[in-house]
Amino acid sequence: MHAPTPWWDYHLHEFQIGGLRFGDIDFLTDGDVEDGSRVFDFREVHLRDFIVGSSFKYLYDFGDGWRHTIIIEAFATEDTKPKSGRCLDGARARPPEDVGGSSGYDRFLEIIADQSDPEHEETLLWCGGYFDPEWFDLELVNKDMRSALRANVKRRLHQPKPPKLKVLR
């Protein structure tokens, strides 16, 4: 799930499917959810169990509160089955890990756009020194998705740096 994002999968997360909650029961217990409902093992659910057109919710980082709706649009046939998922289209940059959810991301964008903001320099350092909210690289997202299941792959933390500009004197 995190291959198209720069997230590292170290926060609690769950899938909500048909009114039931599925998570990593080694870390997420029934008491970890606000309403006390039961948590089932997410390893018992497979995409092949769904039908085209069905959807489910994916919640990541309960503190930041990222909520995603996943819709099953199609399944590959056995003869055309890709080795991994594939992103067909996208727009804008992937939010950094621990940015504070959607409201934190909005604030992050305000800070980095305003050089007079007292938090500007520190925030840029936190995100790797450069962040372009309009940047999107479909090829890079698909490369990340292809390599997501390989154990020895170094994942990108930040966007590529802008090209160095020559200083004219």
The 10s digit of each residue's pLDDT in 37-77 is 788 888 888 877 888 889 999 998 888 898 989 888 887 76
70 or 160, which is more confident? 70
With 0.85 as the threshold, say if the pTM is over it: no
Q: Which percentage of the chain shows pLDDT scores above 70?
A: 73
Beta bridge partners of 71: 55
Beta bridge partners of 21: 16, 39
Whole-number Å distance between alpha carbons of 10 and 15: 15
Q: What is the reported pLDDT for 24?
A: 85
Low-confidence winner among 31-35, 36-40, 110-114 (lowest mean pLDDT): 31-35
pLDDT(167) > 60: no
Neighbouring residues of 4: CB distance < 8 A, sequence distance ≥ 6: 87, 90, 94, 141, 144, 145
Candidates 3.10.290.30, 3.60.15.10, 3.40.630.30, 3.40.47.10; correct CATH number of 13-147?
A: 3.10.290.30
| Domain boundary assignment for the chain | 13-147
The angle formed by the CA atoms of residues 138, 162 and 2, to the nearest 5 degrees, is 35
| Model confidence band, residue 150 (pLDDT cutoffs 50, 70, 90) | low
Residue 99 host element (H or E) = none
Whole-number Å distance between alpha carbons of 66 and 150: 25
Phi and psi, residue 98, nearest 5°: 65, 25
Whole-number Å distance between alpha carbons of 97 and 29: 23
Q: What is the reported pLDDT for 149?
A: 61
pLDDT(113) > 90: yes
Low-confidence winner among 36-45, 77-86, 103-112, 149-158 (lowest mean pLDDT): 149-158
